[in-house]
Amino acid sequence: MIGAAIEASVAGEGYRRIAARLGACPDTVRGWLRRFVERADQIRAHFTRCVVVLDPELGAVLPAGSDVADALEAIAVAARAWVLRFGPGDPWQIASVLSGGVLLATRASAYSWAT
């Protein structure tokens, strides 16, 4: 659900509309999106490193037009690298595994992979 919200936001949809479509509280969706925006550069860097580890020959993660879109692109490319190495999987479940389950954690101490 969080991944769908992030994708919709990058596509230009507002948090209230996303919340209504997903059946989630607007404040919750806004929090997810705010944390993703605040951490976009760290997220992009982390998932770009994951791409290199999973498949060094896959190539560069190309810029997608904004920090948030770049982070989303890095997650997508890392998920593709995972699938090529280990087989099919849901991209957001793969992102959860690669982030240790704390992609949008509310506690900074849970976010140690980004350092």
Percent of the chain with pLDDT over 70: 91
CA dihedral (3, 14, 104, 60) positive or negative: positive
Instruction: Quote the pLDDT of residue 86.
Output: 95
Helix, strand, coil percentages in the chain from 3-state DSSP, rounded to 5? 70, 0, 30
**Domain-wise residue ranges, the chain:** 1-38, 40-102
Predicted TM-score (pTM) of the model is 0.85
Instruction: Quote the pLDDT of residue 114.
Output: 55
The amino acid sitting at 60 is A
pLDDT in tens, 29-85: 999 999 999 989 999 999 999 999 999 888 778 888 889 999 999 999 999 999 999
Q: Report the distance separating Cα 57 and Cα 52, nearest Å.
A: 8
Q: Report the distance separating Cα 22 and Cα 5, nearest Å.
A: 8
